[in-house]
Structure 1
C-alpha cells in the first residue's frame, strides 16, 4: 500500500471525535462575536462613542446606562471586554445579563459601594455588597481592566485581569435584579453609578 492509501485508511479509522474536517467541525463557542454597533441610551448621562468599538457613559445624579439592541445574548455564553473609571467613586461597570434560560437576569458590579466592591446583584434578595459573591479590591482611575464573565448551566464565573473573583453555583438560588433603575438595562446592558466609565473590545460567544 502506498503512503497516500495508508493515510486515507488511518483517517477513516479514527474516532469521529478526533477528526477535523474543516470549518464545520469548529465548535460554536470558539467564534467570538463583536458587541459594537447596537447600543442605545437607557438612563442618565450621555452615551458616546469616542472611537470605533469604544463606549463612554457620562456620569449623572444616579444611574447612567446603555442597552444592547442587537442579536440577543443568551446563556450559555462567555463575554469579555475592558472597562475603566474616568471619574466618580462608585461602580464604573455594571454588566446586566441573562443568567438563566428562563429569563432571570443578574448584574455584575465592578467597583461599587465606595468604589471597591465586586459581586452579583441580586442573589436571594441580597445585592452585590452582601452575598457570597462579594469581593473587594481597589481600582485606579483611568486604568483599563480586563473583564471576563462566563455563564453556563448552574454556574457563573468572572475574572478581572485573569484573577478569578466569582465562582457561583446558581442551582436552587433565587436570581433577580436589584430593585431600581438597573432594570432598564435588561436583558443585556451596561451601566455606571454617579461615575463616568468607558468600555472597549466588547465581544461574546455562545458555547
Structure 2
C-alpha cells in the first residue's frame, strides 16, 4: 500500500506563501510586513520560508513573476478559443476574476508591489522583464485577432505598449476615482483604439 504524500511540494508551499504574503501586505503594508508574519500566516516556520526564498524582495519578485505567467496562460487560453478580437475582448471582460492569483484579485496591492520593486534601481530589470513579457503577449493577441479578419497591424509592438499603458492607467484611475471611472473604461478605450488600428492598417 503506497503512502500518501504528506509533505507539500515546492509549488504548494509557494502558493500558500503568496496567498499569505498578499494578506499580510494588505494588513501591515509591504514595508512593515515581516518574514515571520508571512510564514506564520501561511502555517509555516521561518525555515520553510527561507528554503524557498532568500528574502522578502525575492518573494515579491516571484509573486510578480507568477502573476504575469498566470496572466499570459489565461490570455493565450482565451485566444485559442476566441479568434476574433470582439469575442476575445468579451471573454476577457467576463472572465471570473475570483479565480486569479492574489495580485490579479487586488489591483491596489499589485500597483504597490510594482512601486516597491521599482524604488530600488537594481531591482528594476526584474520589472522590465515582466513588462516586456506582457507587451509580447498583447502584440501576439493583436496580430492574431487582426490577421483572422484579413488585416495586419502596422506596428503590433507599439500597439501593445499603448494597450498596456491604457490598462495600467485605467486601473490606477479606477482605484483613485471609481465614481468617474466606470469598470469598463479600459474595454471602452480598447474599442475606440481598435477602430483606429483597423483604419490605419487598411
Select the structure that is richer in helix: 2
- Bigger relative CO (Cα 8 Å, ≥ 6 apart): 1
TM-score by length of 2: 0.29
TM-score by length of 1: 0.28
